[in-house]
Amino acid sequence: MNFSITLKIWRQKSEFDTGRFVSYNLDHVSPDMSFLEMLDTLNVQLEEKGKETVAFDHDCREGICGACSLYINGEPHGPDRGTTTCQLHMRRFKEGDVIYIEPWRAKPFKVVKDLVVDRSSFDRIIQAGGYISVNTGNARDANAIPIGKTKSDLAFDAAACIGCGACVAACKNASAMLFVSAKVTQLSILPQGHPERYDRVSKMVSVMDQEGFGNCTNEGECEAACPKEIKKENISRLNREFIVSKVKSAFSS
Amino acid sequence: MSKNCAVLDSSIGKKVIMAITGALLFGFLLSHLAGNFLMFCGAEAYNNYSHALVSNPLIYVAEFFLAAVFLGHIINGIILTVRNKKARPVEYAMTQSLGEKSIASQTMIWSGLIVFYFLVIHLVTFKFGTDVSPASADGVRDIYSLVVARFSEKIYSIFYIMCMIMLGFHLSHAIQSLFRTLGLSQPKYLAIIKVLSILTGIGIAAGYCIFPIYFGFIK
């Protein structure tokens, strides 16, 4: 049965605007709607009234691209674990609910407009070292290097990261260490990524710091909020790789 | 900035400094607690132990090292906290706890600063405090009587106990954090490390609280 809700949405004209919450009442919300479809409905209504629509990020709406964000009632990607906002459905809410919707809040994630934030800082971290430089051949060569089951599973789990930024949003320190650790793990434990592993971790952490992300205080909020359930043990691995990288570089010079 | 300074200024570098200095301070806490237990062996044993420590010329080296470790831990902790606050200039209107966030983990800077305040009071009271009875002919300070006199003031004992609870609180998150920061925790041992961390916090706090409770409220 359809129901009515109250939305408290963060509206901000641009990076330079201070921003504020604006309240909207939305009727006839179907429990079968996805959360983003509910926002689409609101936007249609706003457009009909000649008002500015709410800007929010979205792309595939299949939970795999990492474009959608939204901090819903104090939780990145809303109340469901292991899913993105686009996979959240209105059946998780009920008549009369008040839903707060905020953008990811972190210094490196500047608000572009309303709920849209600039996540290009993640791209710059990847550009610093999230790649391999060796030629790995064509698709048929993928199985030419045997890799143990444990390592391939670890690398695959880390590679599931879609770079949405929920880890940063959830962390009380706005730390990007879960994201960086997933990328470092994915590349460093496989033979193809092995030769550059210490250089990579050093460069990626350096850019992460320059971008202004906070530091991990080992509270595991990132892992709980991650739609791809990236494990916090990766952060331990990131720390280990970084320490070894710096010790090696101290002795090699 | 030189290469080494850059490492120490990096996010993980700073975390590693916190972990290593924290581990050293934990070692100090253990040895200090072991020394405290000599109080139960009588005034002479405790005073002689104290005298042996302060009359050793190496004490100056040890004290300098300890002060450097304390300052390194405190200054780094403050820098990290300030940086973490700066990383989120606008706070959320609503937040929910999803992971392992605890009161202890969220108040590390405050429990740490309370312990630092306690440390200053502690040094003023005992290390530089006025003795209740004069030193003996061979220069042995009667630190035992000073400790007993201070703990017999109930207000002081309560203050001491509260600060030790804060220290235990700090340690309950610190120990597990240390392992994870240094990359030493494996997923299968993490649950054990977390339990040990809490037990260590309780153990250290209880260990130090024995003295104000015994000398302030029982004896």
Are residues A141 and A97 located together in one domain of the fold?
A: no
What integer pLDDT is reported at residue A250 of this predicted model? 87
Question: Mean pLDDT, to the nearest integer, of A219-238?
Answer: 95
pLDDT of residue A251: 87
At residue A253, the pLDDT reads 64
pLDDT above 80: residue B4: no
Own/partner contacts of B39-44, CB < 8 Å, gap of 24 or more, are: B39/B144, B39/B147, B39/B211, B39/B215, B42/B144, B43/B142, B43/B144, B43/B145
Q: Is residue A148 within 8 Å of residue A182, measured between CB atoms?
A: no
Query: Is the same domain home to A31 and A134?
Result: no
**Which of B88, B94, B183 is opposite residue A243, by nearest beta carbon?**
B183
Query: How confident is the model at residue A158, as a pLDDT?
Result: 97
Shared domain for A90 and A135, answered yes or no, is no
Q: What is the pTM of this model?
A: 0.92
Q: Are residues B87 and A246, on separate chains, in Cβ contact within 8 Å?
A: no
ipTM comes to 0.90
Which residue, of A113, A143, A169, is where some domain finishes? A113
Instruction: Compare A249 and A123 and report the one with higher pLDDT.
Output: A123
Per-residue pLDDT, averaged over B32-47, amounts to 94
Structure tokens at A97: 């609910």
Range of the domain at A26: 3-113
Read off the pLDDT of each residue in A68-91 and give the average, rounded to a whole number.
Answer: 96
User: Quick one: pLDDT at residue A221?
Assistant: 95
Helix-strand-coil percent breakdown of chain B, rounded to 5?
80, 0, 20
CATH number at residue A143: 1.10.1060.10
Q: Which residues of A touch B3 (CB under 8 A)?
A: 249, 253
Residue identified by tokens 């970084």 is: A242
Number of separate domains in chain A: 2
Helix axes B58-86, B43-55, angle to 10 degrees: 80
Question: Which residues of chain B does A99 touch, with a Cβ-Cβ cutoff of 8 Å?
Answer: none
Report how far residue B35's alpha carbon sits from residue B29's, in angstroms, rounded to the nearest whole number.
Answer: 10
Q: CA B215 to CA B153: how far, in whole Å?
A: 9
Query: Closest-CA residue in chain B for A102?
Result: B92
pLDDT (0 to 100) of residue B185? 80
Give the mean pLDDT of A132-154.
Answer: 89
Examine the domain organization and report whether A245 and A143 are in the same domain: yes
A117: three-class secondary structure by DSSP: strand
Q: Are residues A104 and A168 in the same domain?
A: no
Q: Are residues A107 and A133 in the same domain?
A: no
B159-192 tens-digit pLDDT: 999 999 999 999 999 999 999 999 888 888 889 9
| Spatial CA neighbour of A213 closest among B85, B25, B147, B134 | B85
Clarify whether residues A243 and A177 are in a common domain. Answer: yes
Is residue A252's pLDDT more than 90? no
- Chain B residues with beta carbon closer than 8 angstroms to that of A216: 11, 15, 181
Q: What pLDDT, on a 0 to 100 scale, did the predictor assign at position B34?
A: 96
CA–CA dist B173, B107 (Å, integer): 10
> Looking at the structure, do residues A46 and A102 belong to the same domain, yes or no?
yes
- Rounded to a whole number of angstroms, the CA Rg of chain B reads 20
Q: Between β-strands A3-11 and A20-29, what pairing exists: parallel, antiparallel or unpaired?
A: antiparallel
- In this complex, the residue of B13, B87, B108 whose CB is nearest that of residue A214 is B87
Q: Does A29 score more than 90 pLDDT?
A: yes
Give how far the C-alpha of residue A12 lies from the chain's centroid of Cα atoms, to the nearest Å: 21
pLDDT, one tens digit per residue, over A182-202 is: 999 999 999 999 999 999 999
User: What CATH number does residue A28 fall under?
Assistant: 3.10.20.30
Could B91 and A105 be called an inter-chain contact, meaning their C-beta atoms sit closer than 8 Å?
yes
Q: Are strands A75-76 and A71-72 parallel, antiparallel or unpaired?
A: antiparallel
Q: Is B92 exposed, middle or buried (0-12, 13-18, 19+ CB in 10 A)?
A: middle
Q: Two tokens at A108?
A: 């490196």
pLDDT at residue B1 tops 60: no
pLDDT tens figures, A94-110:
999 999 999 999 999 99
Which among A213, A236, A232 is positioned nearest to B100, based on CA atoms? A232
Report the alpha-carbon distance of residue A218 to residue A82 in Å, rounded.
20
- Domain end (from A113, A134, A154): A113
* Closest by Cβ to B99, choosing from A21, A206, A220: A220
Please name the member of A107, A216, A220 whose beta carbon is closest to the beta carbon of B15. A216
Q: Do B93 and A21 touch (CB under 8 A)?
A: yes
A109 & A124 share domain: no
CA atoms within 13 A on the CB side of B100: 16
Which two three-digit tokens encode residue B156?
């002081």
Residue in B3, B12, B185 to test binding to A, most A beta-carbons within 10 Å: B12
Residues B99-133: pLDDT tens digits? 888 899 999 999 999 999 999 999 999 988 888 77
With CB atoms and an 8 Å threshold, state whether A239 touches B16: yes
A8 plus A95 within the same structural domain = yes
Residues A155, B49: Cα–Cα separation, whole Å:
55
User: In DSSP terms, which residues pair with A71 in a beta bridge?
Assistant: A76, A102
Q: Find the mean pLDDT for residues A207-214.
A: 96
- Kind and range of the H or E run holding B98: none
- For A29, the 3-state DSSP assignment is strand
d(CA A35, CA A40): 9
Out of A113, A134, A169, pick the residue that ends a domain: A113
Asked if A41 contacts A33 with a C-beta cutoff of 8 angstroms, the reply is: yes
Mean of the per-residue pLDDT values of chain A? 95
As given in the structure block, the two tokens for residue B89 are 């200039």
Of A9-18, A219-228, B92-101, which range is least confident?
B92-101
pLDDT at A130: 94
Q: Are residues A59 and A158 in the same domain?
A: no
Q: Give the per-residue pLDDT at B101.
A: 85
**Stretch A152-164: mean pLDDT:** 96
Residue numbers in B near A107 (CB within 8 A): 86-89
